Amino acid sequence: MEGKICRNRNIIYSQVTASIGEVFLTIALASLALQITGSPIQAAWLVSISALATFIMGLVASWFIDKFPRKHLMLICDILRAFLIIPLFFISDENFWFVYIIVFLIACCNSVFHPSREGYIQSQFEKDDRLEIVSTIQSYLSSISLIGPTIAGILIAFFSPRASFVINLTAFIISALFIMKITKDTPVSDSRLESFWKKISSGWVYLFRNKSLLKLNISRIFLTSSLAIYVIVNYLYLASMGNQTIFNITLTFPILLGLVNTIQGAGALVGSFVIKKNKKKISNNLEKLFIYSGVIFATGFILWTFENINSIILGSFLIGIGLIVCRTGISLIGQSITDSRYIGRAITVGDAMARLSNITVTSLTSILIIYFSPKLLLSLSAILAIAISINYLERKG
């Protein structure tokens, strides 16, 4: 197995470098939006606009992910993402609306890149090996989440969001170079002739006919909905806490956002180590990942409601653990229950369902936050998180 991972290490390196770009981009975009608009809700919406792109891609483009070599698709996505970063250097108050278009297009690339990566891993590794490589990738990503957001926050605070765009651009270029080195995969052939509309809808039909896959994506809806509420409240809290001085350092919004994401990264790193250490036990019962993650998420959200620094730190740490546990479960269960001919379509359609819930809940939360307290909304996040666990407890029963 070690030799196999070494031969395919470039897919790991590509994912790591691309994730560096994504982490820095998230912090930079939120900071740029707050800097120009002065609204934390606008900042949250700018990050959430990617959900719309994912939903649309799930509707119209899911079929071609399984029709072409995933290596080529990932390479094209990285190149496009690098080019799309360039206009961000020239954003000002007058043309800020253009950021929404750029973010939308980058998210479209992400919506193709990630399912292509999952399909590539499925095609190159056996079931028992996938836990090893997925947990390896998640360990690296957790390390990035641990240090990346703080570095991004400090860089943006002392310079500008545009300084972060340099790293975004470089990361996507390096990722493309690694993708060029991976082994070319061969799509699973399907000789059936299908009309255009059948191709477009095939992923949706497959998902709704596969009850296990549908159940998995219901849990994803609970996850993205709870996180959508959390992001809005998170940004409001951090914006209100900004410009405080500790040890002669002014804690601006980008620094605070980076610190919170770093704490979540620390939790994710711990979670990934636990998963790797217990991979044999986990591989025999992947559903437990959802049961555990729901409880961990709920606890993290509740801790945020206490609104003090200690509870926010601990809550963020637990949310990080919940994220890594849940994402590992989504990846491994999805790969194990999905036909290789439909893996790309199934993931993209699942992304579309999850992102539609994200858009809906973000919209509702933007309105509800005016009338209800953040504590009440975070409590709703906790309820949705518990629903993740209940969904799989019912299945087990």
Confirm whether 48 is domain-assigned: yes
Confirm whether 128 is domain-assigned: yes
Gap between the Cα atoms of 355 and 11, Å rounded: 25
Residue-range definition of the domain harbouring residue 86: 2-183+200-396
Band (pLDDT 50/70/90 cuts) for residue 396 is very low
Q: Identify which has the larger pLDDT, 111 or 314.
A: 314
pLDDT at position 70: 83
Cα separation values, 97 from 34, 36, 37, 94, Å:
13, 11, 11, 8
Confirm whether 258 is domain-assigned: yes
Q: Which two tokens stand for residue 28?
A: 């930079």
Confirm whether 251 is domain-assigned: yes
Confirm whether 27 is domain-assigned: yes
Do residues 65 and 119 make contact, with C-beta atoms less than 8 angstroms apart?
A: yes
Q: What is the pLDDT of residues 135-189, one digit of tens each?
A: 667 666 666 665 666 677 777 767 777 778 888 888 889 999 998 888 777 766 5
Question: Per the structure, how many domains does the chain have?
Answer: 1
Residues 6+ positions from 93 with CB-CB distance below 8 Å: 36
In the block, tokens 């546990």 appear at: 325
Residue 97: CB atoms within 10 Å: 8
pLDDT at position 383: 95
Band (pLDDT 50/70/90 cuts) for residue 1 is very low
- Give me the torsion for CA of 344, 347, 348, 351, rounded to 10°: -170
Q: What is the pLDDT of residues 266-309, one digit of tens each?
A: 888 888 788 777 777 776 777 888 888 999 999 999 999 887 77
Helices (H) and strands (E) in the chain, counts: 15, 2
Band (pLDDT 50/70/90 cuts) for residue 397 is very low
Lowest mean pLDDT across 118-127, 143-152, 338-347: 143-152
Confirm whether 189 is domain-assigned: no
What is the mean predicted confidence (pLDDT) over 337-352?
75
Q: Is 226's pLDDT higher than 80?
A: yes
Band (pLDDT 50/70/90 cuts) for residue 395 is very low
| Residue 189 φ then ψ, to 5° | -75, 145
Q: Which amino acid is at 233?
A: V
Confirm whether 193 is domain-assigned: no
Alpha carbon 35 to chain centroid distance? 24
CATH code: domain of residue 310? 1.20.1250.20
Q: Is the dihedral of CA 122, 355, 90, 162 positive or negative?
A: negative
Count the alpha carbons within 13 Å of 133 in the hemisphere toward its beta carbon: 29
Question: CA 69, 74, 79 angle in degrees (round to 5)?
Answer: 130
Band (pLDDT 50/70/90 cuts) for residue 381 is very high
Do residues 185 and 120 make contact, with C-beta atoms less than 8 angstroms apart?
A: yes
In the block, tokens 């653990």 appear at: 321
Count the alpha carbons within 13 Å of 150 in the hemisphere toward its beta carbon: 12
pLDDT at position 351: 76
Residue 277: CB atoms within 10 Å: 11
What is the mean predicted confidence (pLDDT) over 78-91?
89
Q: Is 208's pLDDT higher than 90?
A: no
Residue 250's H or E segment, with its range, is strand 249-251
pLDDT at position 378: 92
What is the mean predicted confidence (pLDDT) over 97-109?
86
Gap between the Cα atoms of 31 and 19, Å rounded: 18
Confirm whether 31 is domain-assigned: yes
